[in-house]
Amino acid sequence: LMGLLRDDDTRTATKVPLLGDIPGIGRLFTSQFNDAKKTEVVLLITPHVVRNLNRPDAGIASIWSGTDAVLRVAQPLARGPLVADAATHAGATISDAPVAAGASAMPAERVAVAGPARSDGVSGMKFAIGLGGRGVAAPASVAPALAMAADAGPEAAGAPASTRPAPGLPPVRYSWKGPEAIRVGETFDLVVRADSSQPLNSTSLQLRFDPAQLELVSVDEGSLLKGGGGRTVFRQRAYPAGGRIAVGVAREGEEGVAGAGDLLSLKLKARMPVAAAEVHLMSVAPIGPGKAVLPVQASGPFKVQVAP
């Protein structure tokens, strides 16, 4: 119960000029009108107790959506676990062989693979973001390689052979380039490099770091897939509070790029002193010509010492 009260008091005097101003007898030539009004506005809210409502299951209430111009979009956010173990995928594999000298290697904790071919001939990339984030849409020429669906479900284990690394191909080697030691408050550049003897058309990566130790400042595209004057589409989605970064970069057209170079560059800031602040590569999916999944070679996180 609540209300609004308003009191209006109006006094009006009408008098004859000059005569109405004479003391004593001026009232004889004056007419006065007094008006008092009181306004009340009352709002009454009556609560009612209703029965509990049964909420529909997330799989029923949430649906996929999209348009003819967007080949695929993010799945409903209320889905279950978003990152599956590498053992459930028959896609890209990561070997334990050492990487090139002078480059610290990356971990193979999880792997994302290309999804099965669709009836329209388009093979979509399944990239495990793992944070419930929305996917990103790219132009039709590169959308299959950049569509970041947050579901790397168990169906990938039974994916057709076209979604698995081609046998006998040399792996794509991923490595880090960054400083060995910094101080608290300093920013530094951490570069993710790739070395592929096979043409590389696109790649998707997911990186993880401790947000209490490091702060993400920016994510920039490297020059590898731009080789030969090629045009690329670069998509990145960062989750600073959770220490996660999802990145996808694809080269337009069917012609890939072979060789070594920078895929992306992270600008990070040290937040606290620690013996070894680590950045992990959680998942990676390199794609070659014909949307063929290429083998992967990576092991070990990037480590940097942070001094007070």
Angstrom distance (rounded) from CA 117 to CA 123? 4
Out of 49-63, 73-87, 181-195, 262-276, which region has the weakest mean confidence (pLDDT)?
73-87
Give the mean pLDDT of 174-185: 93
User: Which residues form the domain of 209?
Assistant: 81-307
Kindly tell me if the per-residue pLDDT of 265 is higher than 60: yes
- Whether the pLDDT of residue 279 is over 70: the answer is yes
Asked if pLDDT for residue 71 goes beyond 60, the answer is no
Q: For residue 272, is it within any domain?
A: yes
Same domain for 179 and 229, yes or no, is yes
Q: Say yes or no: 156 and 225 in one domain.
A: yes
Looking at the structure, do residues 14 and 158 belong to the same domain, yes or no?
no
- Report pLDDT digits (tens) over 124-152: 333 333 333 333 334 444 444 444 333 33
301 inside domain: yes
Total count of domains within the chain:
2
Is residue 59 assigned to a domain?
no
Tell whether 18 and 111 lie within a shared domain.
Answer: no
Tell me what pLDDT residue 49 has: 79
Tell whether the model's pLDDT for residue 260 goes beyond 70: yes
Query: Do 39 and 178 fall into the same domain?
Result: no
- Both 35 and 124 in a single domain? no
Tell me what percent of the residues of the chain surpass a pLDDT of 90: 24
pLDDT at 248 over 70: yes
Please measure the distance between the N-terminal and C-terminal CA atoms of the chain and give it in whole angstroms.
60
Q: Is 147 in the same domain as 209? A: yes
- For residue 182, what pLDDT band results from cuts at 50, 70 and 90? very high
Query: pLDDT band at 19, cuts 50/70/90?
Result: confident
- In terms of residues, how long is the chain? 308
Q: 175 and 277: one domain?
A: yes
Is a pLDDT exceeding 90 seen at residue 91?
no
Q: For the segment 38-60, what is each residue's pLDDT rounded down to a tens digit?
A: 888 887 778 777 777 777 766 56
Confirm whether 16 is domain-assigned. Answer: yes
In the predicted structure, residue 177 carries a pLDDT above the cut 90: yes
Same domain assignment for residues 168 and 22? no
In a domain, 175, yes or no: yes
- The mean pLDDT of 108-133, rounded to a whole number, is 35
Q: How far is CA 251 from the centre of its chain?
A: 21
Separation CA 175–CA 68 (nearest Å): 38
CA gap 54, 181 in Å, rounded = 55
Closest CA to 115 of 69, 154, 80: 154
Has residue 242 got a pLDDT over 50? yes
Write down the pLDDT at residue 64: 52
The pLDDT of residue 89 is: 35
The mean pLDDT of 2-20, rounded to a whole number, is 83
Q: What CA–CA distance (Å, rounded) separates 129 from 152?
A: 9
Q: What is the pLDDT of residue 160?
A: 38
Distances (CA, A) of 269 to 179, 190, 301, 306: 12, 11, 17, 10
Asked if residue 244 is part of any domain, the answer here is yes
- Give me the CATH number covering residue 268: 2.60.40.680
